[in-house]
Amino acid sequence: MPETPDIVDSHCHLDFDSLKDELPEVVARAQAAGVTRMVTICTRLRNAASVRAIAEAHAPVFWAAGTHPMSAAEEPLATVEELVALARHPKFVGIGETGLDYHYTADSKPLQQESLRLHIEAARQTDLPLIIHARDADADMARILAEEHRAGAYSCVMHCFSSSAELAQAALELGFYLSMSGIAAFPKSQELREIFAAAPLDRILLETDSPYLAPPPHRGKRNEPAYTAHTARVGAEVFGLDYSAFARATSANFDRLFWKAAAWAKAA
């Protein structure tokens, strides 16, 4: 029986209520589907301890933390020092998610932008990748990412990318990565698939953003890391590759960007 190629869920939320009560089963199903590593994301720093505990309890799970832009007005502004301190944990591998979301929370634009710049500075100081959430804010996002990159280089992934071709190109020109979620597998997402197809293969990651955005055949249901495999199969078709080749490429991309997770896995 052929082995299942290894893939990575670079962005999930295992601390959310619909997943946290059955974590051993969720992790086991992911591993059975070939998802050998997962990064669970803390979106409010007051929850950092519980998210860290998940990574500590489950060998395939790593973690990252930041203030989600939709929560920027509800949470204390994160400090660079606070983020740098969290990054000292051996399984802490990224800064965020942070970013800009003007879809529901446009009234907090200035605060979101200030929070984003603080997270960027933490990414610089730790040399860990920035994890960006962007929705309905393409112009400001492209401007701030470029301004900050000129001020000092940092690495970045545009998580759950579903924005414009222009923002994709702006991110790629800065050396950043685009992450493919279940949205890319939706039947009506052909334009998004074309954006991914135009990107270099060595800048593509996979994710679920679970418990949200389950790809077909699970669309409309709770998402979980095991379903990364469904998005990966669509991604392989987008790039004209067999599944194994696409799995190897995206896993290598993850290792390059999330270097701390790669080092941990190598040492384990």
Residue 86 lies in a domain: yes
**Domain range holding 152?**
7-267
Mean pLDDT of 206-214: 97
Query: Per-residue pLDDT tens for 155-175?
Result: 999 999 999 999 999 999 999
Residue 166 included in any domain: yes
Q: What is the pLDDT of residue 47?
A: 96
Residue 62 has pLDDT above 50, yes or no: yes
Is residue 192 assigned to a domain? yes
CATH assignment at residue 123: 3.20.20.140
Asked, for residue 1, whether it belongs to a domain, the answer is no
In this predicted structure, what is the pLDDT of residue 3? 65
Asked if pLDDT for residue 2 goes beyond 60, the answer is: no
Residue 71 lies in a domain: yes
- For the segment 68-95, the average pLDDT, to the nearest whole number, is 97
Residue 94 placed within a domain: yes
β-bridge partners, 63: 40, 92
At 66, is the pLDDT very low, low, confident or very high (cuts 50, 70, 90)? very high
Give residue-wise pLDDT tens across range 46-55: 999 999 999 9
Q: pLDDT tens digits, residue range 121-144?
A: 999 999 999 999 999 999 999 999
Q: Say how far apart CA 217 and CA 234 lie, in whole Å.
A: 12
Confidence label for 1 from pLDDT (cuts 50, 70 and 90): very low
> Tens digits of per-residue pLDDT, 37-47?
999 999 999 99
Which two three-digit tokens encode residue 247? 């799995």
Provide, rounded to the nearest whole percent, the portion of the chain with pLDDT above 70. 99
Q: Which pLDDT belongs to residue 193? A: 98
Is 204 among the domain residues? yes
Q: Which residues contact 124 (CB under 8 A, 6 or more apart)?
A: 152, 153, 154
Q: What is the pLDDT of residue 65?
A: 98
Element (H, E) at 206: strand 204-206
pTM of the predicted protein model:
0.96
Q: What is the mean pLDDT of the chain?
A: 96
Order of strands, sheet of 177-180, starting from the edge strand that comes earlier in the sequence? 7-12, 35-42, 61-65, 92-101, 130-135, 156-158, 177-180, 204-206
Confirm whether 185 is domain-assigned: yes
How many domains does the chain fold into? 1
